[in-house]
Amino acid sequence: MKSKYLFFAALSILPLPLAAQAPPIITMAEEPHHHLALHNEFVNVYNAEAAPGDSLLLHRHIHDAVAIAVGDQTVTIGIPGKPEMHTKNADGQVRMQVNGYIHSTRNDGKSTYHTVAIELLQMQTGERNLCATVLPGKPMNCPEGAPAASASKRTDVPQFSSNETRVQTVCVPAHQNVKIANPAQSELLVALDSASMSPASGSGPDETLRAGEFLWFDKGAPARTLKNGSDKEVRFVELTFKPSASAKTAVDATKPAR
């Protein structure tokens, strides 16, 4: 009888079976509310959507990610080991979710939660806030005079910058057009309001760009014109990307020797 008790006592101190242990935390790519819409060497772009009362499951960010709120958001953020945090994200708000961040998000609002989540696939260095608090707890580094209207009538509001990426919100006044082109860098445009965009081919009817939709421009791509035909200001978020060191090395390797 004594040996029987010793046997069960030994069982009680053995590790729990793997099935009883906490499952690994999923990544953003595995979270079912995140839908991959674009992948290239610079970014993974996801549309994250949740109905009222629904939640984005607990997940881990394995890259720094820029989150852009499409519409006003009222949410509860869950972070393991911390009290729930009730917060509001304003329409067009830009946030940085750093590599390693683990959270869930419950939609407490009465309309669909929609965030465009942009994973930055290059390692980010020298990260800094510009004219908005994208990185909480970090100082502001707003360029003198920003935001300011440019000669093209657009107003640029710098948000965030690193040695690899720059993020700014652009405002286009009513009944104004602006050209979108960057011969030196690749660029991502995320619409916050509806507007028209001239076709990529350069001919044919304009395309409608709705809030939450985006366009990718390769470095040196032909210019396209964003047209605000409304009586209100139109906004979009513009991300520009410097070529990675590996990409530069690959380009240099293809140059003929002299």
Label residue 22 by pLDDT band (50, 70, 90). low
Do 239 and 185 lie in a common domain? yes
Residue where a domain stops, chosen among 120, 141, 160: 120
Residue 17 in domain: no
How far apart CA 103 and CA 120 sit, in angstroms, is 18
Please determine, for residue 149, whether its predicted confidence score (pLDDT) is greater than 60.
no
Residue 196 has pLDDT above 80, yes or no: yes
Confidence of residue 38 (pLDDT cuts 50, 70, 90): very high
Asked, for residue 19, whether it belongs to a domain, the answer is no
In this predicted structure, the answer to whether residue 75 has a pLDDT above a threshold of 50 is yes
Same domain, 100 and 164: no
Whether the predicted pLDDT of 11 surpasses 90? no
Per-residue model confidence (pLDDT) at position 173 = 95
Is the same domain home to 115 and 190?
A: no
Classify residue 10: in a domain, yes or no: no
| Same domain? 152 vs 45 | no
Residues contacting 33, CB < 8 A, separation 6+:
48, 49, 50, 54, 56, 57
Distance between CA 180 and CA 204 in Å, rounded? 18
pLDDT at 27: 97
Inside any domain, residue 250: no
Structure-model confidence comparison of residues 144 and 206, the more confident one? 206
Asked if pLDDT for residue 17 goes beyond 80, the answer is no
Residue 251 pLDDT > 90, yes or no?
no
Residue-level pLDDT at 133: 94
- Of 69, 85, 120, the residue that ends a domain is 120
* Mean pLDDT along residues 105-130: 97
Whether 11 is covered by a domain: the verdict is no
pLDDT score for 182: 86
Please give the residue range of the domain that contains residue 200. Answer: 128-244
Q: CATH no. for residue 199?
A: 2.60.120.10
What confidence category does residue 123 fall into, taking pLDDT thresholds of 50, 70 and 90?
very high
User: In the predicted model, is pLDDT for residue 200 greater than 90?
Assistant: no
Q: What share of the chain is helix, strand, coil (3-state, %, to 5)?
A: 10, 40, 50
Give me the number of domains the chain comprises.
2
d(CA 132, CA 161): 11
pTM of the predicted structure, to 2 decimals: 0.85
Does residue 211 fall inside a structural domain? yes
Nearest Cα residue to 187 out of 147, 214, 159, 148: 214
* Cβ atoms of 155 and 146 closer than 8 Å: no
In a domain, 101, yes or no: yes
The verdict on 211 and 165 lying in the same domain is yes
- Pick 251 or 45 by higher pLDDT: 45
